[in-house]
Amino acid sequence: MLRKHSKKPVRPVEAIAPPSEAEVVIAVASVTLLVMILGALSQSPVWLLGLLVFLPGAASALCTVRQTKFVFAWTGLVVIVTMLVRQGDGRPWLDRILMVLLTLVLGAASVYACHRRISREQEMMRLRSTAAAMQRHILRPLPMLTDDVLVNGVYEPVQEDRLVGGDIYDVVNSPWGTRVLIGDVQGKGLPAVGAAFAVIGAFRATAHQEPTLTALVEALDASVVRHNSYAAQTGDDERFVTTLILNIDAGAEVQAVNCGHVLPQVLQDSTVTTLALTSGVPLGLAELADEPATVDWFVFPPGATLLLTTDGLTETRDADGAFYPLTESLTRRVSLSPTDLPRALYDDARAFAGESGQHDDVAVLTVRRSPNR
């Protein structure tokens, strides 16, 4: 029977925080003072006031509506007062009136633009939150314990550029042993979530019905093909899914079918071994393969840890384009517990990529023999 621990609090999807009120006041005062000083030095204070006209526009891109209104009001006040105070400097009144009108028009347009930006950001945040909530309901919380294995792990979708990630995983306690799935849907966003739901739904239903992994893989491939046919009717792109499916029972050996996914690794006695599995085509592309899916066998002794990852970890790059050295990182952390290892690898990969590197959604799972075995 599948048992799972209580779900941890979900990290909210955060928006980009606007500057504080104090930061806005300091910035506006600094720019105003700079314009006044430059105007006094150049003997053209009225014309340099045109620089202040751009302040509300800059605020509309970074600040809240309230802050943008403050910048607009301040800019309008400074421009109007300056025009009235320096009315005897020989400048035509028409120029002064045009400057005031330009300030007011651009300021009002900036407030409107800020309001539209905030509305779009809020709509995008709601969409992201909805999509992320959908995915959290699709993916069961970790860790998960069955009669055969204990599965720990971490899954972190990248939120900055994408709505949600395309990585999937699941564990089913079937009559023929525990079946573990980890995969990566091509693409991101809500269409990827649809393909992920199709695969996981088929896996949860078929894993209890099919005695062989080859039949299970055929059913999963058919689910992706059906999803693609529905997607084509609505104009969406067809997708494929790389997956690794395992069957672990009380025996010493594990059955595995690799559908174009990242190879698993076994950690035991301070050694890291990358398993040599036959790589088939991803789900959804079986009709392009010359041969059906191949079932491989490998030894998984008690006390060993099986590491399953998605390509978000192996394809992480630093600013120079170098790939994350997963095997080296595993060798340094082979003594960590299966509970701590996934988070340690995830954090290390993010630190390796840095701010300028390339990183994607990452799912990292560790599989151990159940303590009851």
CATH of the domain at 205: 3.60.40.10
Let me know whether 65 and 148 are in one domain.
no
Lowest mean pLDDT among 16-20, 32-36, 43-47, 242-246: 43-47
Domain contains 12: no
User: What is the predicted pLDDT for the residue at 245?
Assistant: 96
Domain contains 172: yes
Let me know whether 172 and 104 are in one domain.
no
Tokens, residue 140: 């069961």
User: What is the predicted pLDDT for the residue at 233?
Assistant: 83
The set of residues, in sequence order, having a beta carbon less than 8 Å from that of 126 and lying 6+ positions away, is none
Let me know whether 105 and 218 are in one domain.
no
User: How many structural domains are present in the chain?
Assistant: 2
User: What is the predicted pLDDT for the residue at 362?
Assistant: 83
Helices 93-138 & 54-62 angle (0-180, nearest 10)? 10
Let me know whether 206 and 233 are in one domain.
yes
pLDDT of 165 > 80? The answer is: no
Lowest mean pLDDT among 56-60, 188-192, 226-230, 266-270: 188-192
Helix, strand, coil share (%) of the chain residues, nearest 5: 45, 20, 35
Let me know whether 239 and 106 are in one domain.
no
Let me know whether 85 and 143 are in one domain.
no
Domain contains 13: no
CB contact burial 267-281 (16+ within 10 A = b; e otherwise): bbeeebeebebebbb
Domain contains 82: yes
| Interval 215-265: pLDDT, tens | 999 999 999 999 888 878 877 777 899 999 999 998 889 999 999 999 999
pLDDT of 67 > 80? The answer is: yes
Let me know whether 122 and 150 are in one domain.
no
Lowest mean pLDDT among 129-133, 330-334, 348-352, 359-363: 129-133
Average pLDDT over residues 308-313: 88
Count of helix runs (H) and strand runs (E) in the chain: 10, 12
Let me know whether 143 and 124 are in one domain.
no
User: What is the predicted pLDDT for the residue at 324?
Assistant: 87
Final residue of a structural domain among 104, 128, 152:
128
User: What is the predicted pLDDT for the residue at 13?
Assistant: 40
Final residue of a structural domain among 128, 157, 179:
128
Higher pLDDT: 127 or 354? It is 354
Domain contains 6: no
Let me know whether 27 and 157 are in one domain.
no
pLDDT of 46 > 60? The answer is: no
pLDDT of 8 > 90? The answer is: no
Look up the domain containing 123 and give its range: 21-128
